[in-house]
Amino acid sequence: MKDLHVKDWMTRRVITVDTRTSLPDAHKLMRTNNIRRLPVVDRGKLVGIVTRSDIREASPSEATTLSIWEMHYQLSKLSVGIIMTKDPYTVTPDTTIKDAAKMMYTYKIGGLPVVNEGGELQGIMTESDIFRILIAWFDEQEGTA
């Protein structure tokens, strides 16, 4: 398992947004695709990441006096570029799975965008990908026992 690399296990088909995407649109993309984070790209290069938590924190409190329509209107005026994490932690395709998992654990993050030397998004490594590796390893162990 020590020679496993991100390029062999990352999710390659990544759903992305740009900095102008509205928060409701980003949230809808996450809900529709059952994902918790969206890399933010500009001409193919990673510029940030936005998570469901980021959107939830940017949303008005339930204790607000705004009506539901006013809240949606206010949210629709906010874009991903305002709330995204700029310069997120990243890995390259050649990063080992061990190093990627250590980063995710150390920084308490659920996903790492995978970029090449030019900063272009190549994929994403998430905790679900790590679980896939563990399951494959357990299956392999059971097959050799």
CATH number where 75 lies: 3.10.580.10
Q: For 32-53, write each residue's pLDDT tens digit.
A: 999 999 999 999 999 999 999 9
- The answer to whether position 119 is within a domain reads yes
Rg (CA), the chain: 18
- The answer to whether position 111 is within a domain reads yes
Q: What is the mean pLDDT of residues 117-126?
A: 97
pLDDT at 105 over 70: yes
Closest CA to 89 of 100, 77, 80, 78: 100
Using DSSP, state whether 125 is helix, strand or coil.
Answer: strand
Write the DSSP string, 113-124. EEE-TT-BEEEE
What's the structural domain count of the chain?
Answer: 1
pLDDT value of position 143: 77
Greater pLDDT, 121 or 68: 121
pLDDT at 69 over 90: no
pLDDT value of position 74: 59
H/E stretch holding 112 reads strand 111-115
pLDDT at 97 over 90: yes
- The answer to whether position 1 is within a domain reads no
- The answer to whether position 18 is within a domain reads yes
Return mean pLDDT, the chain. Answer: 89
pLDDT at 135 over 90: yes
pLDDT value of position 62: 56
pLDDT at 109 over 90: yes
Domain span at 130: 6-144
Q: What is the mean pLDDT of residues 47-64?
A: 80
